[in-house]
């Protein structure tokens, strides 16, 4: 019975990382140093980004886009105080020196096509309009992508104003059409 208790204590000590021997006379210099991981940057390997691609361009696009968060929706408007969806994206990218078509349908031919599993921040994402069987009717800008689920957040001018939505929201998940990359 005593052997069972000793075995259980030794097993718990090993599992906890405590040496079973009483000889624990290491000095501070001899102790192993462990580096604590305080973020999850290792999940994002940046392999999808070209080496010429600078993150400051992404930051500039997002800073411009987020500076209009909450701006009113107005059909046919392209900023700076009110936007429709394509007016918002064309305004943001125009301030970065990138000309886009004025309508979401025209923007769907700008840049190059991107598969959903290769989306990155700054890409344009397109959806059908309120009639989910119709043509392109809505556009937004990718804010971030979840590498595990493949879902993404995007900023856009919705009928409730400029806001951030998620691709998994029922309205958008059923209407996703494709994506375009306009920043190289």
Q: Which of 68, 120, 138, 181 is catalytic?
A: 138
173 as an active site residue: the answer is: no
85 as an active site residue: the answer is: yes
DSSP state letters, 143-184: EEE-TTT--EEEEEEETTEEEEEETTSHHHHTTEEEEEE---
Q: Which of 171, 161, 115, 109 is nearest to 142 (CA)?
A: 115
> Are 132 and 126 a contacting pair, CB within 8 Å?
no
> Are 128 and 134 a contacting pair, CB within 8 Å?
yes
Task: Tell me the chain's radius of gyration from C-alpha atoms.
Answer: 25
Residues 6+ apart with CB under 8 A from 164: 69, 143, 153, 154, 155
68 as an active site residue: the answer is: no
In this structure, what are the phi and psi dihedrals at residue 149, rounded to the nearest 5 degrees? -90, -20
Give the Cα separation of 1 and 157 in Å (integer).
72
Q: Which of 68, 120, 156, 180 is catalytic?
A: 156
Catalytic residue annotation = 85, 138, 156
């Amino acid at each position: 019975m005593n052997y069972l208790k000793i075995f259980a204590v030794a097993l718990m000590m090993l599992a906890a990382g405590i040496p079973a021997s009483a000889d624990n006379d290491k000095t501070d210099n001899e102790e192993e140093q462990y580096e604590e991981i305080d973020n999850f940057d290792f999940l994002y390997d940046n392999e999808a980004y070209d080496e010429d691609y600078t993150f400051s361009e992404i930051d500039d696009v997002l800073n411009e886009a987020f500076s209009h968060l909450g701006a009113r929706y107005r059909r046919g408007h392209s900023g700076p105080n009110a936007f429709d969806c394509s007016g918002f994206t064309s305004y943001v990218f125009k301030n970065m020196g990138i000309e886009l078509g004025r309508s979401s349908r025209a923007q769907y031919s700008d840049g190059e096509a991107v598969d959903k599993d290769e989306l990155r921040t700054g890409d344009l994402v397109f959806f059908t309009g309120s009639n989910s069987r119709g043509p392109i009717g809505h556009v937004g800008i990718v804010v971030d992508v979840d590498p595990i689920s493949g879902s993404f957040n995007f900023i856009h001018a919705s009928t409730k104003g400029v806001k951030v939505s998620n691709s998994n929201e029922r309205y958008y998940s059923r209407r996703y059409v494709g994506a375009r990359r306009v920043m190289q």
